[in-house]
Amino acid sequence: MKVALGQFAVRREWQENARICVDLMQQAQQQGARLLVLPEAVLARDISDPDLAVKSAQPLDGPFLSQLLAASSNNTLTTVLTLHVPGNDGRVWNALVVIRAGEIVARYDKLHLYDAFAVQESRNVSAGDRVPPLVEVDGLNVGLMTCYDIRFPELARRLALDGADLLVLPAAWVRGPLKEMHWEVLITARALENTCYVVAAGECGPRNIGNSMVVDPLGVAVARAAEGPALVLADIDPQRIADARRALPVLLNRRFGRPELT
């Protein structure tokens, strides 16, 4: 199965971001991809306005996602992205949605909020309270994670034990000392310790590092982007997963139980 990662810098105006997302969907379809992963929070971004997440939030039946759903009805892609959705207490949800054939086939509200490195995502965003579902794409089980989730191995392990063959990670990884190293090490570790692919799409631009990448079940980076806008493609090989799990049966050899959400 061919996957695509659409890396771009999110603008302040949702209309421009919708246009970019639709264009990336068209490019991925033309390149033969079956799965497209876009960055985190693609609805709107302005680094000078930290409250824009609340002010710009749209419901899932709003105009932004409606445009993407209309585009998806005309292609064979499964597309993954996150956007901010209005909540009940003045905050929003950081909602990962999976769209296919003009419909939302899965939703996951981000569990681990980025209250770290002098940032407090929880000021504007409510944490989810459910383990994300698996989504089937071309016979492979896809586990859903969002950005900061990658720092918590319990979620990746839970998804692997639930049957995930690959993990997708829309992200907006903030620049800072050692942050690019953290990104690569964490993605590689989650792939290797769970013998699954990790498909991580990062936002680029003035605040975030980009560096979208695909890592295979034995920790090999098989595709990556640099710091600018890009559409990156990679092949997901089910035989590679089977070979890795036969040679390195960590899921079978583990001594700890299945992680549960507290």
Which residues are tagged catalytic? 40, 110, 147
**How many angstroms separate the CA atoms of 194 and 180, rounded?**
22
The residues facing 134 across adjacent strands are 143
DSSP-derived pairing of the beta strands 197-202 and 213-215: antiparallel
Query: Where do runs of H (alpha helix) occur along 12-103?
Result: 14-30, 52-55, 63-72
Q: Rounded to 5 degrees, what are φ and ψ at 160?
A: -65, -45
Chain position carrying tokens 């609340």: 54
Cα separation, 137 vs 205, in Å, equals 30
Report DSSP state, residue 17. Answer: H
Complete DSSP assignment for 121-176: GGGTEEPP-SPPPEEEETTEEEEE--GGGGG-HHHHHHHHHHT-SEEEEEE--B--
> Which residue, among 123, 128, 189, 135, has the nearest Cα to 159 in the 3D structure?
135
Taking alpha carbons only, the member of 12, 13, 38, 41 closest to residue 24 is 38
